[in-house]
Structure 1
Amino acid sequence: MEPTDESFEALLRYMRDSRGFDFTGYKRTSLVRRVRHRMDHAGYDTFDQYLDVLQASSEEFSALFNTILINVSSFFRDPDAWDFVRTDVIPRLLAERGPDDPVRVWSAGCASGQEAYTLAILLAEALGPEAFRQRVKIYATDIDEGALTQARAASYDQKSVESVPPDLLSRYFEQLNGRYIFHKDLHRAVIFGRNDLVKDVPISRVDLLVCRNTLMYLNAEAQRNVLGRLHFALTAQGALFLGHAEMLLSHADGFTPLNLKHRVFRKAAGSHTGLERYDLAASMYDRHGDPPGLTTVRELAFRASPVAQLAVTGEDTVAMINQQAESIFGLSEDDIGRLLRDLEVSYRPVELHAYIEQAKVELRSARIPDVKWQRPGAETVWFEIHVNPLVDAENGLLGVSIVFFDVTATRALVDKVVQTNRQLEAAYEELQSTNEELQSTVEALQSTNEELQSTVEALQSTNDELDTINDTLRERSSELDHARTFLDSLVNSVHLGMVVVDREMRVVVWNRHCEDLWGLRSDETTDTVFTSLDMGLPLERIRPLIANAFVDSGQAGEVTVDAVNRRGRHTRIRVSCTAFRFAEGGVKGALLLMEELA
């Protein structure tokens, strides 16, 4: 850490105010470590310097964002916990609902999608594929758009699916070009969208909420805020599944444990969180004071619109159809009140289900460009489709509007431009042929490099996650931390280089003066064999001193040697060595003191 945290807090505020990513609720220990990791990789020493770089480089911001967010995910992660979900949680959930009741599941912090598809597999196994498609919706959200893009593709390499049991792998995945693709029919029940747990509106009426290894990155205040939102999201007695390193340190009265070992909790009956303001169910309201006949005018205006348009309720029931939509898609007023999925327009000319669910979850519009529709016996028509959520004054969801803009004329102009470009490109075919051969070679090298980088990033992410768990354990051991801080301060206050090695010659203590002398940090030397360190101190004359310290007499020894310090300057070093004894007696190691002579 720098002498003051203000420069680091300024960096967090810039990320929040200018880029829309609020990490101010994250635990500072792990957050500083990850930012430092990226700064060291990019070659910057202070937070002020790095803030200047972030303000000028969007690429560096993306790299920092990916470093902070650990998108570690796998299928059936922690198999024992998932086995409890399969054998207890899901059967209990289904037994408490009717045979045709919908089942709503939320995977919060889904990363690249393995957790969401694990849920889909278990529910499909419990219900059967047909009932699963009819009843289940799995909402999978994350703050990282890049991770969501990977999740929507539902494509994984062989290493990623090693944890999937072979019988489930064969039933729920298809192999294509060496990759495993999750079954498309079941994929439609999984809706991915961006959601920031700290500040965005939670999904409501959720029967099972999976939020694993996400809360542990947040500080206590942010955890209380997020847990309140998760509590609101659950239905009465809905289940909450957390990560193995997470506990309900707040809102304990709002949840009762189903299995504490596997971190599965249930919403307590009659508990409240004070988040009723997020309730999207109370979205219908009455207008007062409208002039007589205004409703009729609105309906006639909607019906007469030259652009085809449908409106559906939050439960996917068709509420309105205008004349243009009736004419184009062969609909009628008899279709009002039917479920949209029962109408051909829901999947032709394009599958609308995923876009409608995205609009509901994210409460923002979706645009589907370049939709081609070839009607029998008619010319090809091109649409640009807009899917817009209909919300009330309280930001509650009323329904969804689907608008079909006919862009056939514009598309014809675009096609003409494309044709002209192709004619121009023909003149450069010979040059492009040579260039493509070079590019293919470069792409092959890049592909190999990307695979190596992916492996390194996965290892780094796993390592960072382990560090985070260790931080949590260290926070619960405050007395040990205070004692360690005192000892570190004592060791670093010695104005001599101080090293303690054990009987295997591994470094146990390496103080700050040693860092100044040899340019090696304590974390680079600890548990490393002392004689293997790459520094400018000749160790041949020091080994006898250490050997003498290990004998029963433990006599002190001293020697003066010529050395090269971390700045490359030749210097004289006086090294004294004595036995390092524990309180109960016996030589446990050797203590070396190094003094740089004038």
Structure 2
Amino acid sequence: MSKSSGTGGGAASPERSTGADQEAADGRGGPAPEPDVDQGLEDLLGFIRDSRGFDFTGYKRSTLGRRIRKRMDDVGVQDYADYRDLLETDTVEFRTLFNTILINVTSVFRDPDAWELLQREVVPQLIADLGADDEIRVWSAGCSSGEEAYSLAIMFAEALGIEESLNRVKIYATDVDEEALRDARSGQYPAKNLESLSVELRDKYFERHGAHYVFRPDLRRRVIFGRHDITRDAPISRLDLLVCRNTLMYFNVEAQTQIVDRFHFALREGRYLFLGKAEMLLSDGERFEALSIRQRIFRRRPGGSTPPYPAIPMKMRSGLGAEMQAVSRTRQLRDLILDAAPGAAVALDEGGGVVMINNEARAQFGLTTHDIGRPFQDLELSYRPTELRSLVDQATHERRTLRVNGAERRIGSELQYFDIVIQPISGGQGLPVATNITFTDVTLATQLKAEVKRVREDLETAYEELQSTNEELETTNEELQSSIEELETTNEELQSTNEELETTNEELRSGNEELETMNDEMRLRSTDLDEARAFLEGVVSSIAAGVVVLSSDSRVRSWNRGAIDLWGLRADEVLDEEFFSLDFGLPTGGLRQVVEECIASGKRSGPVVIPAVNRIGRSIDCSVICSPFDGHNGGVVLLMEDVSEPGGG
């Protein structure tokens, strides 16, 4: 399930690169040459980075410049400086620009041959190398709209079984595109997006909701989505499998090197890296072993790795007995204060494990001290009253406090509401070391607010109804007075109307008599027309010679009995057919010029004698006379007669 052009979890990925870029990306032709520095483009990229936090400076300028130029052409801007002015004044244009750059192309189990190799050889070996209870950590970097992450969840569920997968597998799915992450978190896809999945697997792992399919909720909770920039943010560590497909090819050589360094640090020794078909690690043979070059599956070789970020030094001193007791006492007091805090609070370490649950949190959410040390994602609190796992990851990656107001929690028929604060706690050098989650019960305030709002709305509605009723009464009084006057006027009008109706009745009687007279005349004319038609048909039928009437576009309008006897074609076989396309023994092509001259001159032409074959197959000489048919919009009448000598042919 690669992304032929996805966001890649970095800042963004423009459209598929050109042939030169592609050759550089897959390692066949060395680094692709970058164009000369365009200072206007560089200034624009710096502005985007500083104002919106999207760092595109590590991307290949040829591809990135082409995508930005496309958007500039769409809005009619020629200069980078002018386009920067537009971005400063139009916040909507930022979104449109990012959507132009961030082209997400993905699907479930894309490139099935690569996934089949991964499932057949890599996953069984990975499971065999781990203990029966060891956690399996997976990272899908550049997950786009989530199909790749859910493909990983399906793959491990098929290999381990759903129950064991729920207990052991943890999948991190990251991207820089917030819109794509929103789609991914929903886990909802139209049927077309799942066409590559067998019906059996689709029905097993997706639930149908109308025209869409939703990924099963229990496995969905094992997939944690969050925003992450692989060029800037700290990598997820202690991984067993890292999937990043067709993303590196959009970065320049320097950025690629930094990203691969982070990937090497993130993977455990002997664990696996799964890239896209447009990427290779030919220059990293000392750190990565190629399991399948064709399918781009690599394994991290044994050996240490320098972390992408420097570790925090720890200073130790001797003679700390009294100080340690003071520190222990201080820590005990701090824990007691936290435990007695009026608001519910839960603290997590950097790995997502629970390190503190205060008394209010235990009482409010049914937790115990035995839950300390468990992964937060295993607690019901992680997804109820709201989805907190992705928010914790987002707060950690973005290093900022997030708030959720009015999260709803249902206990039986009772509703509770909480304001939730997710606050990352940083250690030395600003690196996140823990996360504190506090819950403030605002049920009463929310209910009072709702009640006040309802009462206010009721009062406003009652006041509006009172005003409306008063206006309606005044209007009704005026309408009553007006109605009395109208009734008096209507009475007079009715008397006048009655007189008009009597007059109209007389006129209708007169009109009826006229219609009866016209009906009699029409009946007489119809009889005359029937007689005339019968007379004309009798005259045409009695002519021994063949008589054919053609319209101005050479289509047959009449075909008499003489023509039937001469050529053997019935009238219903030729009517409305193009005369010169008929095949009945007479070479009609020889008559085309005669017919056209007759139509053009409006005069009789012929006779023309043409050799032909009659209906019984005997060769004859056919004489044809063409006369204009003035009564049919420029048509002609053809008189055809056998003038062969008796005994001839």
Which TM-score bucket, shorter chain as reference?
Answer: 0.5 to 0.7
Partner of 1:309: 345
**Do the aligned partners of 2:347 and 2:436 also contact (CA within 8 Å) in 1?**
yes
Within a 5 Å distance, the mapping from 1:466-477 to structure 2 comes to none
Which amino acid letter does the alignment assign opposite residue 333 of structure 2?
Answer: V
Partner of 1:5: 38
Partner of 1:166: 199
Q: CA 1:171–1:327 in 2, change beyond 3 Å: closer, same or farther?
A: closer
CA distance in structure 1 between the partners assigned to 2:464 and 2:191 by the alignment: 40
2:423 to 367, 388, 392: 388
CA distance in structure 2 between the partners assigned to 1:52 and 1:184 by the alignment: 46
**Do the aligned partners of 1:91 and 1:126 also contact (CA within 8 Å) in 2?**
yes
The worse-fitting range, judged by mean Cα deviation, of 148-157 and 409-418 is 409-418
TM-superposed CA distance for 1:328, in Å, is 3.2
TM-superposed CA distance for 1:182, in Å, is 1.1
Partner of 2:177: 144
Partner of 2:164: 131
Partner of 1:226: 259
**Do the aligned partners of 1:284 and 1:398 also contact (CA within 8 Å) in 2?**
no
TM-superposed CA distance for 1:428, in Å, is 9.8
Partner of 1:367: 403
**Do the aligned partners of 2:401 and 2:421 also contact (CA within 8 Å) in 1?**
yes
2:356 to 320, 324, 335: 320
Does 1:277 find its partner at 2:277?
no
For structure 1, the 5+ residue unaligned runs are 430-598
Partner of 1:487: none
- TM-score, normalised via structure 2 length: 0.60
Does 1:184 find its partner at 2:217?
yes
The worse-fitting range, judged by mean Cα deviation, of 163-172 and 10-19 is 163-172
Per-residue deviation, residues 248-269 of structure 1 (Å, max 9, x unmatched): 2543422111101111111111
CA distance in structure 2 between the partners assigned to 1:284 and 1:148 by the alignment: 38
Which amino acid letter does the alignment assign opposite residue 99 of structure 1?
Answer: A
Partner of 1:406: 441
2:69 to 36, 61, 66: 36
Which amino acid letter does the alignment assign opposite residue 298 of structure 1?
Answer: R
Partner of 2:134: 101
TM-superposed CA distance for 1:311, in Å, is 2.6
CA distance in structure 2 between the partners assigned to 1:30 and 1:24 by the alignment: 12
SS in 1 for 2:155: helix
Partner of 2:226: 193
Which amino acid letter does the alignment assign opposite residue 257 of structure 2?
Answer: R
Partner of 1:489: none
Per-residue deviation, residues 173-226 of structure 1 (Å, max 9, x unmatched): 111110111111111111100000110111001110000111111000010111
Per-residue deviation, residues 536-582 of structure 1 (Å, max 9, x unmatched): xxxxxxxxxxxxxxxxxxxxxxxxxxxxxxxxxxxxxxxxxxxxxxx
CA distance in structure 1 between the partners assigned to 2:259 and 2:464 by the alignment: 57
TM-superposed CA distance for 1:369, in Å, is 2.4
Partner of 2:598: none
TM-superposed CA distance for 1:110, in Å, is 0.7
Q: CA 1:358–1:17 in 2, change beyond 3 Å: closer, same or farther?
A: closer
CA distance in structure 2 between the partners assigned to 1:57 and 1:367 by the alignment: 27
Partner of 2:20: none
CA distance in structure 1 between the partners assigned to 2:309 and 2:37 by the alignment: 39
Partner of 2:99: 66
TM-superposed CA distance for 1:312, in Å, is 3.8
Partner of 1:479: none
2:114 to 66, 78, 81: 81
SS in 2 for 1:59: helix
**Do the aligned partners of 2:421 and 2:438 also contact (CA within 8 Å) in 1?**
yes
Partner of 1:263: 296
CA distance in structure 2 between the partners assigned to 1:244 and 1:297 by the alignment: 57
1:298 to 302, 317, 334: 334
Per-residue deviation, residues 408-454 of structure 1 (Å, max 9, x unmatched): 3431343145425754579999xxxxxxxxxxxxxxxxxxxxxxxxx
The worse-fitting range, judged by mean Cα deviation, of 206-215 and 159-168 is 159-168
SS in 1 for 2:57: coil
Partner of 1:113: 146
Larger relative contact order (CA 8 Å, sep ≥ 6): 2
CA distance in structure 1 between the partners assigned to 2:111 and 2:462 by the alignment: 56
Q: CA 1:285–1:303 in 2, change beyond 3 Å: closer, same or farther?
A: farther
**Do the aligned partners of 2:234 and 2:309 also contact (CA within 8 Å) in 1?**
no
SS in 2 for 1:22: coil
SS in 1 for 2:73: helix
TM-superposed CA distance for 1:74, in Å, is 1.0
**Do the aligned partners of 1:283 and 1:396 also contact (CA within 8 Å) in 2?**
no
SS in 2 for 1:370: strand
**Do the aligned partners of 1:188 and 1:354 also contact (CA within 8 Å) in 2?**
no
SS in 1 for 2:286: helix
* Aligned residue pair count: 425
Per-residue deviation, residues 30-67 of structure 1 (Å, max 9, x unmatched): 11111111111122222222121111111111111111
TM-superposed CA distance for 1:84, in Å, is 0.9
**Do the aligned partners of 1:313 and 1:319 also contact (CA within 8 Å) in 2?**
yes
Q: CA 1:370–1:2 in 2, change beyond 3 Å: closer, same or farther?
A: same
CA distance in structure 1 between the partners assigned to 2:160 and 2:394 by the alignment: 25
2:248 to 215, 226, 231: 215
TM-superposed CA distance for 1:166, in Å, is 2.3
Which amino acid letter does the alignment assign opposite residue 298 of structure 2?
Answer: F
Partner of 2:542: none
CA distance in structure 2 between the partners assigned to 1:339 and 1:150 by the alignment: 26
**Do the aligned partners of 2:35 and 2:61 also contact (CA within 8 Å) in 1?**
no
**Do the aligned partners of 1:11 and 1:51 also contact (CA within 8 Å) in 2?**
yes
CA distance in structure 2 between the partners assigned to 1:414 and 1:183 by the alignment: 36
Within a 5 Å distance, the mapping from 1:501-580 to structure 2 comes to none
Within a 5 Å distance, the mapping from 1:372-451 to structure 2 comes to 372-373=408-409, 380-416=415-451, 418-419=453-454, 422-423=457-458, 424=460
For structure 2, the 5+ residue unaligned runs are 1-33, 466-649
Per-residue deviation, residues 76-119 of structure 1 (Å, max 9, x unmatched): 11111111111111111111101111001000011111111111
- TM-score, normalised via structure 1 length: 0.65
SS in 2 for 1:277: coil
Q: CA 1:402–1:212 in 2, change beyond 3 Å: closer, same or farther?
A: same
Q: CA 1:257–1:130 in 2, change beyond 3 Å: closer, same or farther?
A: same
CA distance in structure 1 between the partners assigned to 2:403 and 2:180 by the alignment: 21
**Do the aligned partners of 2:142 and 2:176 also contact (CA within 8 Å) in 1?**
yes
SS in 1 for 2:335: helix
Which amino acid letter does the alignment assign opposite residue 215 of structure 1?
Answer: L
TM-superposed CA distance for 1:352, in Å, is 4.5
CA distance in structure 1 between the partners assigned to 2:257 and 2:36 by the alignment: 30
Partner of 1:463: none
SS in 1 for 2:182: helix
**Do the aligned partners of 2:226 and 2:391 also contact (CA within 8 Å) in 1?**
no
CA distance in structure 2 between the partners assigned to 1:158 and 1:402 by the alignment: 38
**Do the aligned partners of 1:211 and 1:243 also contact (CA within 8 Å) in 2?**
yes
Whichever of the two has the greater Rg, that structure is 2
TM-superposed CA distance for 1:350, in Å, is 4.8
Partner of 1:50: 83
**Do the aligned partners of 2:226 and 2:390 also contact (CA within 8 Å) in 1?**
no
CA distance in structure 2 between the partners assigned to 1:335 and 1:72 by the alignment: 41
Which amino acid letter does the alignment assign opposite residue 406 of structure 1?
Answer: D
